[in-house]
Amino acid sequence: MNIGIAAKASGISAKMIRYYEQIGLIPAADRTASGYRDYSDTDVHTLCFIRRARDLGFSVSEIEELLSLWRDRDRQSGDVKRIALQHIEELRSRIAEMEGMMTTLATLADACAGDQRPDCPILGDLAQPGGRNSPAPTKTPPPRSSPSV
Amino acid sequence: MNIGIAAKASGISAKMIRYYEQIGLIPAADRTASGYRDYSDTDVHTLCFIRRARDLGFSVSEIEELLSLWRDRDRQSGDVKRIALQHIEELRSRIAEMEGMMTTLATLADACAGDQRPDCPILGDLAQPGGRNSPAPTKTPPPRSSPSV
DNA sequence: TATAATGGTTCCAACGATGGGAAGGTCAAG
DNA sequence: CTTGACCTTCCCATCGTTGGAACCATTATA
């Protein structure tokens, strides 16, 4: 089948399928006599695997590992689980970071009248001299010398 | 003061300071006779403002707006608050998305033995023909209305 | 003073994942 | 045979940040 059909069937755009081939995430597709890429149901199955992994936030390199484990009949589920747990930790960390931002911002926005007057606690916080030490009203202890992430 | 000093004082790398100047986020710095950028305490203050906003996850274009409001004595705090609330919504949405991924992954990882056996619910889920929200990749896939983004 | 070690300058490229578009070839229906 | 949809490759843009190369300026030391 043509790349457009495979794209619709897998939920991955044709652009991205070509890109994945280019970076070696998937092997080069067969070609028809006229040079069109030709995909089998198996190929589409692989693409769906990739899309699902992508939807779960895995990076291309992680997907590469997962694909290789998927194809390996002698894999150890521990290897898969390790990748998953690692990714969960990554997500947890990014979520925590964003929640910190959100909490701080929500506090500031709450203190801001939001009318036509110029006084604004949000700008006041941003403009604090030595922003490095500006107290973020989060539950995390005072910032260290090195900025987080 | 030189860019390196300003970088340390503000917590923004010299590279980024030049970049911010290049894209017009900050005005071109004064130059010494030998061509070195020369920063004042006021400039550093602005850079700290930018860093603080960046730490809160604001994009460059949002920071641009915030800076211009900061410099405008006749600003309306409502404008600032609007930007903040909008950003909070953005954060909330991204957090929700990642939490969805995390929940799914945690469930799968929990069901995975994680030992040397090859059976793995994580791979099992990823390999589901069609995944959770995609059409079944049969030979005659039913015409599907546009799938979720 | 000569020299080495910082530290500044510009320019170019890369990352990750994706989209846009141009120029041109191919296929199927009318 | 024409038309329109689809395919091909190639290049560019995104966003924020980092890295490096090649070169110039300043400063510290032998």
SS (H, E, C) chain B: CCHHHHHHHHCCCHHHHHHHHHCCCCCCCEECCCCCEECCHHHHHHHHHHHHHHHCCCCHHHHHHHHHHHHCCCCCHHHHHHHHHHHHHHHHHHHHHHHHHHHHHHHHHHHCCCCCCCCCHHHHHHCCCCCCCCCCCCCCCCCCCCCCC
Distance of residue B102 Cα from the nearest chain A Cα, in angstroms? 6
Nucleotides of C under 7 A from a protein CB: 7-10, 16-20, 25-27
- Interface residue A144 vs chain B (CB under 8 A): no
Q: Which pLDDT belongs to residue B129? A: 61
Instruction: Report the C-alpha gap between B90 and A77 in whole angstroms.
Output: 36
**Proximity of residue B18 CB to strand C below 7 A:** yes
Mean pLDDT by 10 residues, chain A (149 residues): 96 96 96 96 96 96 96 96 96 95 96 96 86 39 32
CA distances from A9 to A60, A70, B86 (A): 20, 20, 35
D10 C1' – A96 CA distance, angstroms?
41
- Interface residue A74 vs chain B (CB under 8 A): yes
Contacts of B65 (CB under 8 A, 6+ apart): B79, B83
Q: Which pLDDT belongs to residue B128? A: 84
Q: Which pLDDT belongs to residue A146? A: 32
Cα B11 to the chain's mean position, in Å? 18
Partner residue facing B114 (CB), from A51, A81, A120: A81
B92-137 confidence digits (pLDDT tens): 999 999 999 999 999 999 999 999 999 999 999 999 865 544 333 3
Instruction: Report the C-alpha gap between A107 and A100 in whole angstroms.
Output: 11
Our CA angle for A136, A104, B87, nearest 5°, is 140
B25-80 confidence digits (pLDDT tens): 999 999 999 999 999 999 999 999 999 999 999 999 999 999 999 999 999 999 99
Distance of residue B8 Cα from the nearest chain A Cα, in angstroms? 11
- The span from the first CA to the last CA of chain B, in angstroms, equals 49
Q: Which of residues 6-35 of A touch strand C (CB under 7 A)?
A: 13, 15-16, 19, 32-35
Which protein residues have a C-beta closer than 7 A to any atom of strand D?
A: A 2-5, 14, 18, 29, 35-37; B 13, 15-16, 19, 32-36, 54, 59-61
